């Protein structure tokens, strides 16, 4: 069973995309708002029925119903408003996430946890510390979402099929994220051979800024994060060993410790099975460190 906590737009999208992948037979949608998860579950089940998909979606306000969950996704919290950065949400969401994680410890202590609430990296660190789970069992969604946006910019700029594009984004899920053209390809051909530096700089900066543009235009990002969550869930449940950039706790990797931040990792039935350390150049290391410093600064303001 998969449990998704937070029945807002992203939580609902995560349920829908996960159900469409047919990787589990039951999804529980939890929320403190009476009626909201139940209504969302009904709506999704009606769609799944017409599609002939036998995944049962349940809505509940009772945390105890998450017992037996293999994965718990934490989407609960306030979302970004136009003009806000992810870090603006730190204190209000830290309190919410801490309470949610305490309930996960109580009712789903054998699960893996995928934090999604912003600011993603500090919330992943908080989840890891409050849960007391092994670090391979707590991994945040952030860079998987950033990667999808980077792929779109590469597609728009080159005109080549999205199917041919493999991209990588690491670091903070925020203004200091690190899209990596050097480690991104079109059918195995490095972006460095396909686009001039000016274009690479443009799509890198665009990837960092595009979420704010989407929020400005429609109020929230919904479909891309919902899909990113379902991609990670699929990798765990099907034990695909897919390499996915996720926020996970570092203990010396990339030269940093005591912080949760996005790095490429092998994702399988044991969660984060291996962190892959890329050979970053000096400029890339500098950007990565900016993200680390930003996250550590946020962590210092958390009450654990």
Three-class DSSP category at 4: strand
Catalytic residue at 173?
Answer: yes
What does residue 199 show for φ and ψ, rounded to 5 degrees?
Answer: -65, -40
Q: What is the largest CA-CA distance in the chain?
A: 55
Residue 249 Cα distances to 91, 144, 287, angstroms: 20, 16, 18
Three-class DSSP category at 189: strand
Closest to 255 in 3D by CA, of 285, 275, 299: 285
What's the length of the chain? Answer: 304
| 56 beta partners | 26
From the list 163, 173, 223, 256, the catalytic residue is: 173
Hey, what's the torsion of the CAs at 266, 268, 273, 278, to 10 degrees?
0
Could you give the CA distance from residue 144 to residue 232 in angstroms, rounded to a whole number?
8
Positive/negative CA dihedral, 261, 252, 293, 89:
positive
Three-state SS across 225-275?
HHHHHHHHHHHHHCCCCEEEEEEEEEECHHHCEEEEEEEEEEEECCEEEEE
Could you give the CA distance from residue 187 to residue 20 in angstroms, rounded to a whole number?
27
Could you give the CA distance from residue 104 to residue 100 in angstroms, rounded to a whole number?
6
Residues annotated as catalytic are 173
């Amino acid at each position: 069973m998969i449990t998704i906590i937070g029945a807002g737009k992203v939580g609902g999208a995560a349920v829908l995309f996960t159900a469409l992948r047919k990787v589990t037979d039951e999804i529980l949608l939890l929320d403190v708002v009476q009626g909201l998860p139940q209504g969302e579950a009904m709506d999704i089940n009606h769609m799944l029925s017409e599609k002939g998909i036998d995944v049962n979606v349940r809505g509940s306000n009772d945390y105890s119903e998450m017992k037996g969950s293999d994965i718990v996704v934490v989407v609960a919290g306030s979302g970004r408003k136009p003009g806000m950065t992810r870090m603006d949400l730190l204190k209000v969401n830290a309190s919410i996430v801490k309470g949610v994680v305490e309930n996960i410890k109580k009712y789903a202590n054998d699960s893996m946890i995928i934090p999604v609430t912003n600011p993603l990296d500090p919330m992943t660190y908080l989840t890891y510390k409050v849960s007391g789970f092994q670090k391979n069992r707590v991994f945040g969604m952030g860079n998987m979402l950033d990667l999808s946006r980077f792929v779109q910019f590469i597609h728009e700029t080159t005109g080549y099929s999205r199917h041919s594009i493999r991209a990588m984004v690491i670091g903070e899920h925020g203004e200091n994220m690190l899209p990596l053209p050097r480690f991104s390809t079109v059918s195995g051909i490095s972006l460095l051979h396909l686009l001039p530096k000016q274009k690479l700089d443009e799509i890198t900066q665009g990837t960092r800024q595009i979420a704010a543009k989407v929020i400005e235009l429609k109020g929230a990002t919904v479909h891309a994060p919902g899909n990113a969550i379902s991609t990670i869930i699929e990798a765990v449940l099907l034990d695909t060993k897919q390499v996915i950039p996720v926020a996970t706790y570092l203990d010396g990797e990339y030269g940093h410790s005591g912080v949760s931040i996005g790095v490429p990792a092998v994702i399988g039935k044991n969660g984060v099975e291996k962190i892959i350390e890329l050979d970053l150049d000096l400029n890339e290391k500098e950007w990565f460190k900016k993200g680390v410093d930003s996250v550590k600064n946020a962590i210092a303001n958390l009450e654990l």
